[in-house]
Amino acid sequence: MKDLISEQQFMLKQPSAPRRTPSDAFYFRLSNRLATIIESRHLLAGWDQSLRLRVALALTGYIQDILTDAGIWRSFTERCHVLYGCYVPFYPEPEDYIPHELNEIDVRFLIWYTLSMNSDERRVWNPADPAIEEASRQLHAELDRVYDDPDTPMPDDYNIAKGLEVANPEEADEVFHFGHWLFMHCYLMTPAYAMTLAQIMSDPELRKGQDMERLRKVLEESMMDDPTGPLALYLHEWLYLILEGKMPPAPKRSQSDEEEAEDHPWYTAFMRANDGVPIRFFHTYAELNRFFIEALGWDEGENLPHLKNASDFVLLVNQKKGMLCAAGVAKCIRLPENPCYDAEFARENAIDLLTVRGVCPADLLHYVLERKGLPDAHFPGTADAGLVERNADFIARCYLQKYYRGD
């Protein structure tokens, strides 16, 4: 039978590539066996075959990782536990869950994550979809057989970063090589990076593929500047977690930073006009513009005229940053200060604030989530808003990436 996954596709996911290792043949066959199970049993039939094959490759990377304790999956689940009190988002942990070993809900999460992040039509998809659960049950059974088989070869070369230290200058080249593979090829990072990469490659000049040096520089800049992976961590954060088992030290703030500048003048004027509340909502542009003129002392006439045809505005102020204005989102936010909230509209549209980049400014989304202000947001195909509310920060990280974590 013809392989569904080519050797080239498999080797692109291997940290030791292009060098071949003794265990490559076994795990290449495993990736194709998983792909065959998916295809022959008609699992995940609602998704394109290319996405189903990505699932097989992701699960192969996952089992290579946990067998040799390469630290990638460990770092993700440990950080989830710190942030959310659970090892894997969305799914209740069964009593027999063992961190850093093979678990069915790990498999289920990876299937959802790989499909959703790489899909256009089904990008915002319900993690509790029965098709995903059934696929995870059957694929976990095959992985479990491999995991418990004493003849399964240990993929030692998957753990290329073993023993490396982030801050050791003598190992800088090896750390950079590992970081490059992690960012560009690792099973856990690349799904979340797919949309960022697509945005980079939308540049017509880069799309021509003629200036490879410029493309290399753009991608290296992205490695340094953009978060990635399901938790939208920056590369140095992933490297510290994997190599050192902890987040990087926080940058030291000087006394001058702590004592820096006075409150932003817009913040002062806004808080004075809004009874000390840092957020305000407006139905119409006319209401918004009137507030600019009468409360903030802006010029008469049309302020921010590019917003004239929009509605449902939110203003939020910050002591140091000043003021942000968001249009089209007020009806989704349920807070006591919001007269614009519309429950029916929110049920249809609130999920976009967590999953569509650029819809809601990061500072506003953080403010709203801290106050549980999106209770109606739910994945399509389910009315379970609680699933989103319990995982809202994770969903925003995973889908929005730098649009949520960037400053």
pLDDT for position 250: 85
What is the Cβ-side half-sphere exposure of residue 172, based on CA atoms within 13 angstroms?
A: 2
Distance CA 401, CA 189 (A): 12
Distance CA 270, CA 273 (A): 5
CB 239 within 8 A of CB 166: yes
Contacts of 351 (CB under 8 A, 6+ apart): 124, 377, 378, 379, 380, 388
Share of the chain above pLDDT 70, in %: 96
Distance CA 206, CA 217 (A): 11
pLDDT for position 210: 66
Preceding omega of 339 cis (within 30 degrees of 0) = no
Share of the chain above pLDDT 90, in %: 85
pLDDT for position 211: 73
Largest CA distance in the chain: 79
Q: Which of 162, 214, 187 is closest to 27 using CA atoms?
A: 187
Per-chain mean pLDDT for the chain: 94
Whether residue 392 is predicted with pLDDT greater than 70 in this model: the reply is yes
pLDDT tens profile 45-71: 999 999 999 999 999 999 999 999 999
Q: Which of 238, 272, 219 is closest to 73 using CA atoms?
A: 238
Distance CA 297, CA 214 (A): 47
Residues 163-171 have a mean pLDDT of 93
**pLDDT bracket for residue 113 (50, 70, 90):** very high
Whether residue 109 is predicted with pLDDT greater than 60 in this model: the reply is yes
* Greater pLDDT, 375 or 198: 375
pLDDT tens profile 328-358: 999 999 999 999 999 999 999 999 999 999 9
pLDDT tens profile 175-226: 999 999 999 999 999 999 999 988 888 877 776 666 778 888 888 899 999 9
pLDDT for position 216: 85
pLDDT for position 404: 97
Pinpoint the alpha helices (H) of 41-129: 49-68, 72-84, 104-118
pLDDT for position 407: 61
**pLDDT bracket for residue 20 (50, 70, 90):** very high
Whether residue 308 is predicted with pLDDT greater than 90 in this model: the reply is yes
**pLDDT bracket for residue 288 (50, 70, 90):** very high
Residues 287-311 have a mean pLDDT of 96
pLDDT for position 203: 79
Residues 154-177 have a mean pLDDT of 93
Whether residue 257 is predicted with pLDDT greater than 60 in this model: the reply is no
